[in-house]
Amino acid sequence: MNIDSIRDGVVIDHIKAGEGMRLYELLKLDTLDASVAIIKNVASRKMGKKDIIKIDAKIPIDLDVIGYVDPGATVNIIRDGELREKRSIEMPALLKGVIKCKNPRCITSTEQELEHIFKLTDRENKVYRCIYCETKA
């Protein structure tokens, strides 16, 4: 398999195997008018297998989304074909507008303009709860 290197863009690396498509959807990368490569189940000495997303465009990346899906991932910023910045990701304390509350009785179900906000309640188990109704994400 041959995936070209990118000149200016972002590489999301060290994604837990199988989570690449979920990140792709949550980051809304399908709306980009740029090349995006999702490489699944790549052999990794450190992780066994991993996913990688390469985005051939200078775009802002929502690090909170990445931290929610996989806080072990890294984000590499590429400019002029060279690595300019490597960011480690952490789980965000609050998630705003990323996921929706599943509780049909939650106020976010009736108040459509109300932003869905989830708070990290258990870092070890990666548990987020709706700030309005406490439903687990």
Instruction: Tell me where in the chain the CATH 3.30.70.140 domain(s) lie.
Output: 9-88
Domain spanning 9-88, CATH architecture = 2-Layer Sandwich (3.30)
pTM for this prediction:
0.86
**What pLDDT does 46 receive?**
85
**What pLDDT does 64 receive?**
94
The residue that leads in pLDDT, 74 or 4, is 74
Rg (CA), the chain: 16
User: Confidence class of residue 65 from pLDDT cuts 50, 70 and 90?
Assistant: very high
Write the DSSP string, 55-80.
Answer: E-S-----HHHHHHH-TT-EEEEEET
To 10 degrees, the CA torsion angle through 118, 120, 121, 126?
A: 110
Mean pLDDT of 18-29: 94
Q: Residue 113: is its pLDDT beyond 60?
A: yes
Of 3-7, 61-65, 119-123, the one with minimum mean pLDDT is: 3-7
